[in-house]
Structure 1
């Protein structure tokens, strides 16, 4: 039996995100900028969108994109929430099987 440790870091920080839309108005995230703890900025490029879910959090309709990215050389998954009511984008969490990401 093989056990895999999955580490999740809840971030819940606002981010700047670059997206493109198709002819139907569907948003497609490309990359986002996030401020690090040392006040430097990291640009994280989205490799693949795994799922897109509609959620209602605290009365706000949101789209939650679960994406795959490479952060510091390690493959990670992250959840990006886009709020329609507030017009904001939040990185919800980042999870990985590699401890060097955090």
Structure 2
């Protein structure tokens, strides 16, 4: 996987205990935005990136007929989401 660390817009569901799950996200491509539906979250982990707490989601989706695995990162302190690896 290639590290890209691009900021993205995410629609996520949150449980009562605060646990989040990404449902779909929009990434700005060169000409127009692309919306990708998250079909499956393989695993979720918590780690630190540059001293900031991050929640990492390894996900998979079918994009253009191919199964793609990617990682999304959520920074709880700022509420920002990133496409980390593709």
Which TM-score band (shorter chain)? over 0.9
Q: Which residue of 2 aligns with 1:97?
A: none
Instruction: Report the structure, 1 or 2, having the larger strand content.
Output: 2
1:47 aligns with 2:39: yes
TM-score relative to the length of structure 1: 0.79
TM-score relative to the length of structure 2: 0.92
In structure 2, what is the Cα distance between the partners aligned to 1:88 and 1:21?
15
Equivalent pairs, count: 86
1:31 aligns with 2:24: yes
1:67 aligns with 2:59: yes
State the structure with more CA Rg: 1
In structure 2, what is the Cα distance between the partners aligned to 1:26 and 1:83?
13
Following TM superposition, the consecutive aligned residue runs of length 4 or more in structure 1 with deviations greater than 6 angstroms are none
CA root-mean-square deviation: 1.1
Structure 2 portions without partners, runs of 5+: none
